[in-house]
Homo-oligomer: A and B are copies of this chain.
Amino acid sequence: MSERGIKPSNQPALADFKVSVDTVIFSVDTQQNRVLVLLIMRRDDPFSGQWSLPGTLVRQGESLEDAAHRVLVEKIRVNNLYLEQLYTFGGPHRDPRESPKSFGVRYLSVSYFALVRFEEAQFIAEGVSGIAWYPVKQIPSLAFDHGKIIEYGYQRLRNKLEYSPVAFDVLPDVFTLSDLYQLYTTVLGENFSDYSNFRTRLLKLGFLADTGLKASRGAGRPASLYRFDAEAFAPLKDKPLVFL
């Protein structure tokens, strides 16, 4: 922002960019203990036939968030998800289209981080070809630097779980405390806390409302169903709230 719009001829040439918005969409299958990422099979060059993150190039008059939402709604048909900006990858040579033939155009990617409820997740990829959920532990080789973006996003997911209520964007509206615990162990690993202590701490925080309903799942005592109470949580926002 410190150079002139019309550049004097003695100034080095500015780079021209196309900007893509690529989103790492996570979902968690607590039953099978897996964190999932939504991938899309590319149909066009470059990297045609390879898996990649869902994304698009930003159009005229469109904001970054708009572009992200456009892909989510039009292409993947996802609504109501948690979305936040992740990181911007902008080095040269990250896109093979950056050849001299294309007049030196650079491709920059603003990545986003998103979470979907697993219930909704299931029928997103269903039947449609060229779109699939992959476990984070088994991501195939991806187009561009999308592998790196996923790693970065996964790191963010683990961090966020510890100090923010993102868990409730992944869980269904109504859930049991073991669902919640399962989610945490799936993402964070086994050794973060004892179930009993996790339970007491979370309930003491006071933003889990008991619905009075019970969930009976095969054998064992039926579990109480809880709902996340956003209002009760509000005062705790910005506090150094620790779930771990």
| Residues from chain B with Cβ under 8 Å of A52 in the complex | 1-2
The answer, yes or no, to whether A95 is at the interface (CB within 8 Å) is yes
- Assuming the A-B contacts A14-B59, A60-B12, A162-B240, are A2 and B88 also in contact, with contact meaning beta carbons closer than 8 angstroms in the complex? no
> Which of A2, A45, A107, A144 has the most chain B CB within a 10 Å cutoff?
A2
The answer, yes or no, to whether A3 is at the interface (CB within 8 Å) is yes
Q: A63-B91, A90-B110 are in contact. List 10 more A-B contacts (CB 8 A).
A: A2-B42, A2-B44, A2-B71, A3-B57, A14-B57, A14-B58, A17-B58, A60-B104, A63-B90, A162-B240
A60: contacting residue among B15, B45, B46, CB under 8 A: B15
A8-29 at interface with B (beta carbon < 8 Å): 12-20, 22
| Residues from chain B with Cβ under 8 Å of A20 in the complex | 1-2
Q: Tell me whether B19 and A108 are in contact (CB under 8 A).
A: yes
One complex includes copies of this chain to the number of 2
Interface size on A, residues (CB 8 A): 56
| Residues from chain B with Cβ under 8 Å of A19 in the complex | 15, 17, 19, 90, 106, 108
The answer, yes or no, to whether A194 is at the interface (CB within 8 Å) is no
Q: Sample 17 A-B pairs with CB under 8 A, ordered by A number.
A: A1-B52, A1-B57, A1-B95, A1-B109, A3-B44, A3-B56, A5-B46, A12-B60, A14-B18, A14-B59, A15-B60, A15-B62, A16-B18, A58-B106, A85-B88, A162-B240, A240-B242
| Residues from chain B with Cβ under 8 Å of A110 in the complex | 88, 90
A-B pairs with the 4 shortest C-beta distances?
A: A17-B17, A63-B91, A1-B20, A64-B90
